[in-house]
Amino acid sequence: MNTVNDIFGKQLKILNIGLEQFADDLTSQGIPCIQLDWRPPAQGDPEAADLLSLLLE
């Protein structure tokens, strides 16, 4: 069974989804971080986003 302790002491490899300042701050400290090019999932009605997830599951 995985526990939270598994991450302690390991190199963090971070994915940033949203505000770019968080990625910039990490990069400036030399911490590996990827910035996701995020867009809201479905065009038009945001409610459709959830429907989309249901369909994709």
Partner 1 sequence: MIATAICTETKQLIANNTLVHGKVHSVFGRVFNVLTNDRHLISFLSDKILPAPRSICVDLPARQSMHVSGFLPGMSVAFSSTQVCIGSYLHIDLTRAREWDPHPTFNFDPIGEHLLVENIRSVRDILMCHGNLHGIAGITPFLLKTSPVAEERNPALNSAGELILPRINKLLACIISGDMESLRHAAGNVVGFGPGLTPSADDFLCALMASLLYSDAYYARNLSRTYQINNAIIGKIFERTTTLSAEMLSLAAQGWVAEGVRRLLLAVFAENGQRALKDRLLSVLDYGETSGTDLTAGVYAGCLLGMCLEDHGRTVNLASLLS
Partner 2 sequence: MVLKTVIRRGEYYDSGRLMIVTRTISKLEGIIDAAVQMGTALNKEALKRTGLLDKDSEGASVDDLMISMKGTGEGVESALVQLDALLNQSSSGLQDSEYRPKTIDSALKAEPGLNFAIISVPGRFAKNEAMKALQKGMHVLLFSDNVSIEEEKELKTFAVSHGLLLMGPDCGTAIINNVPLGFANKVRQGNIGVVGAAGTGMQEVMTLIHKHGAGISQAIGTGGRDLSVTIGGAMMLQGLKALNSDKNTDIIVVISKPPAPEVSDKILQFIKDECRKTIVVNFVGGGRPESIEACGAISASTLEEAALRASELAGHANGAPRMAEEDLDRIARDEAKRLNAGQKYLRGLYSGGTLCYESMLIVRDFVGDVYSNTPLNKQMKLLDSAAPCKHTCLDLGDDEFTAGRAHPMLDTTLREQLFEHEASDPNVAVILLDIVIGYGSHSDPAGVFADLVRKHKENARREGRHLIVISSVCGTEEDPQNSLTQERKLQETGVIVMPSNAAAARLAGKIVSYANSEERRL
Return the one option of partner 1, partner 2, none that residue 7 interacts with (CB less than 5 to 8 A, by type).
partner 2
Return the one option of partner 2, partner 1, none that residue 45 interacts with (CB less than 5 to 8 A, by type).
partner 1
d(CA 22, CA 2): 27
Secondary structure of 23-49 in the HEC alphabet?
HHHHHHCCCCEEECCCCCCCCCCCHHH
Within 14-43, the residues that bind partner 1 by CB under 8 A are 18-21, 24, 38-40, 43
Please report, as ranges, the residues that interact with partner 1 according to CB under 8 A: 18-21, 24, 38-40, 43-46
